[in-house]
Amino acid sequence: MMKRKELKGNALIGQSGGPTSVINASLAGVIEASIKSKKIKKIYGMRFAIEGFMKGNVVDLGKQKPSIIKGLHTTPSSGLGSCRYKVQDSDFPLILKMLKKFDIRYFFLIGGNDTMDTVHRVEEYCAKNGYELNGVGIPKTVDNDLYGTDHTPGYGSAARYVALSVLQSGMLARDMQKVDQFVVHQTVGREAGWLAAASALAKTDENSAPHIILTPENPFIKKKFLAEAKRIQKKCGFVYVVVGEGVLDEKGKPVSSSKVKDKFANVEFGAMGGASVAMEIHAILSKEFDWRGEFQITESMPMCGADRASKTDVKEAAACGRKAVQLATSGNSGVMVSMVRKKGKKYAIEYKTAPLKDVAVRAKEMPAKMFTKNGMNVTKAFINYAKPIVGELPEYVTLDMKK
């Protein structure tokens, strides 16, 4: 963490990358704390993140009606608009020019790894060029793979979306097993299986969905997978498989067969890549067993499902926004707000910091202790980790089939 001067000037906030159900709660936290701060004159918002800022596309957030700021806490998507622009070295002179034009002394971005890299590079460039600026990153990602924090705002709500979807569609699969013998449900998660693993919260007994969970942390071994699928279908009458989009085979290649890459050199999974791991797994099961089945690909829906948002997630997202302002106005720079879980049975979070230089280049995989030995399901350690973040799920009834 770099300690700098306690500055006086304007603040700038942007939202980058994919949205979450609670990213606007973090935005609201920043706005509310900035308005109250004696060191911040105005709080500006970037329209369409850094890409829009370079064109001078900003809005004075301090002029928003209080009812709108309050409403942001429960409004989905990215209120300011987002982008996935990869900042080039040649962009920094223009960025610095715009920062000076708006007298920006506090720089905030809400986002994931690539966003944290942008904050890090901007604040470092300013320091090297003698411009006083405190830059603080605010964590966000449904993938939950951001290094340096127990979990990220957005994950709890997306995990709840997945758990509810599997809970409900799992009951459908159970009752339609004479028509469809299997279901493959795909979640986002390029490098880590946190979101796919969240489906385990839907399980109510040993026969209920999900039965198999495939994640990027464990290689997909076709022979073992087919043996497990056959065993479960024979026992339960159907098999429900949840797959993370970034699942790899034994050679480290995407099972989705996607070869398309984005501007950040990341493989495009799902529809954007023209391929899908769910479709591949569906084809494997159909061909091997001649079963009829379906696949479900949610893509971006868990990123904006405000009706399924976790109450804990909403509160923590706003708290991260407020903490970012407190850190920056106290002279901190080059850090991301970090959530640290307190020890003990009762769930509680402390808000600390993680160095941007570490967050920007590392991804957080699920630890081995959270997976079963065969790598196709999760343990109690994961359930204990995720349950307080996601919240309680509804309980449904099952008919008594005794004659």
pLDDT in tens, 229-259: 999 999 999 999 999 999 999 999 889 865 5
List the one residue out of 59, 56, 64 whose CA is nearest residue 28.
Answer: 64
Residue 350 has pLDDT above 70, yes or no: yes
Whose tokens are 């028509």? That residue is 179
Q: How many CA atoms lie within 13 A of 5 on its CB side?
A: 10
Instruction: Determine the pLDDT at residue 363.
Output: 83
List the one residue out of 239, 228, 226 whose CA is nearest residue 181.
Answer: 239
Instruction: Determine the pLDDT at residue 46.
Output: 98
Q: Which range, of 43-57, 234-248, 257-271, 308-322, averages the lowest pLDDT?
A: 257-271
Domains, in order of start, for the chain: 2-153+307-359 (3.40.50.450), 157-305+364-390 (3.40.50.460)
pLDDT in tens, 93-106: 999 999 999 999 99
Helix (H, G, I), strand (E, B) or coil at 272: helix
In which band, very low, low, confident or very high, does the pLDDT at 299 lie, cut at 50, 70 and 90? Answer: confident
Active-site pick, 117, 143, 145, 313: 143
The CA-to-CA distance between both ends of the chain, in Å, stands at 67
Instruction: Determine the pLDDT at residue 276.
Output: 86
In which band, very low, low, confident or very high, does the pLDDT at 334 lie, cut at 50, 70 and 90? Answer: very high
- The mean predicted confidence, pLDDT, of the chain is 93
Is 199 in contact with 186 (CB distance < 8 Å)? no
Span 192-220, average pLDDT: 97
**Torsion-angle region of 51 (φ positive above 0: left; ψ -120 to 50: alpha; else: beta):** alpha
* Residue 313 annotated as catalytic: no
